[in-house]
Amino acid sequence: MSQGVSSFKMDPAPVFLFTYVTGSLACAGFVGVLAVTDPAFQQAKLSVLLETIGYILVFFGPPYAALCALLATHYFQYTVTAEGVGGQNLIGRSQFLRWSDIAAMKRVRIGNLEFIRVMSREGGRAIWLPLFVRNEPAFDATMMQWAPPGHVSHRLADLTLRGHSGTRRAPG
């Protein structure tokens, strides 16, 4: 890591939990839909359907969630520098925004995952910075250290520490 650049990666535990729960619910829901719509499944006993869902939860869910968590923590990297912040947008494309180009920052929760959505003055896709990085205190300190005085990120940090959410606009 070069001087002046701090890099952060996601903590895999929240990603594992999110993908395990959502993936398991999706698979169980799929079996439920088949049980209602497919004649072959309609003839099956309830115990067989519950057993199928149980197998999905036990044997499919954990490996799928572990793979997703490992891929997410390996692929996605976030940087904070004196010039700005870098990360991925919602579709995974890497981007960098200078502090002066940031129009707003909004705290967003998706299940158990919290992000800061960093929006550009020029529009385009926002950067999604996770609030569940491996070294959260260093991430917070780095954001506060390198963000210009009075920048929207300072006001967002105050709200985050108090547990409030919302959008804050950059001055100008």
**Which of 2-11, 53-62, 105-114, 135-144 ranks highest by mean pLDDT?**
105-114
Q: What is the mean pLDDT of residues 157-172?
A: 46
For CATH 2.30.29, the residue range(s) in the chain are 77-169
Q: What is the DSSP string of 10-77?
A: B-HHHHHHHHHHHHHHHHHHHHHHHHHH-HHHHTS-HHHHHHHHHHIIIIIHHHHHHHHHHHHHHH-E
* CATH architecture, domain 77-169: Roll (2.30)
% of the chain at pLDDT higher than 70: 87
Res 166: pLDDT: 43
